[in-house]
Amino acid sequence: MNGQQLLAVLLIGLASNLDNAGVGLSYGVRNIKIPWFSNLIIAAVSGFFTLLSGMAGSVLTAWLSPVAAHLIGTAVIVFVGVMVLIQPFIGKGSTKSRNSSHLLTRILRNPEEADFDGSRSLNLTESVVLGVALAINALAGGFDAGITNISVVLTSLTVGLFSFGLLGISEFVGKRYVAKRLGSKATVLAGLLLILIGIHQLF
């Protein structure tokens, strides 16, 4: 793996998990605890989803030319980046009930909804649900890695490590320094990074 590919892996790991920073800050300022094992489960879910999407991307390369593979990888990751950017505004005025569909989307907009029992601490089930919601961004990064022949395993491990680190650190910062407003900025930065990574794959 050359330096450019390693940089792409690190950027994918970071961009796939910047929403974790927003969630961690949100939990910290609301004094909702994320135990280390819950954080580990969330990281494992993100890494697993990245691995699956990366394997799917690798399989597609058997039927695609290198140019087509890069174009598809770019399109997918840029599309997800745009969706991440507009996600905070989707359904903002909706009057749907808490029990309606689109649970994962609601959790990304309002992370404390993952604390179903109101215990102020995430249990196993809640950790898995939050992990799946946060892993949506990682799908694009994993697919892009697979379709552009970047190490899928290393990308998955990097995504998991960034997930664990950013969520834990941001929860601590949110709890100690009440940095609530940084959550929306993290989402915007995540979307921009994904778009830039996608464009970078063209060159």
By CB neighbour count within 10 A (0-12 exposed, 13-18 middle, 19+ buried), where does 130 fall? buried
Lowest-confidence segment of 3-12, 38-47, 51-60 by average pLDDT: 3-12
Q: Give the DSSP per-residue string, 44-107.
A: HHHHHHHHHHHHHHHHHTTTS-HHHHHHHHHHHHHHHHHHHHHGGGTTTT----TTSS-HHHHH
The stretch 146-168 carries a mean pLDDT of 91
158: containing domain:
3-200
For the chain, the C-alpha Rg in angstroms (whole number) is: 17
Output the CA–CA distances (angstroms, integers) from residue 138 to 18, 21, 45, 96, 181, in the order listed. Answer: 10, 14, 10, 27, 23
Give tens-digit pLDDT for 66-92.
677 667 766 776 776 676 667 656 555
Q: Indicate the pTM of the whole model.
A: 0.72
Q: How many domains does the chain have?
A: 1
Pick from 46, 56, 57, 9: which is nearest to 155 by CA? 9
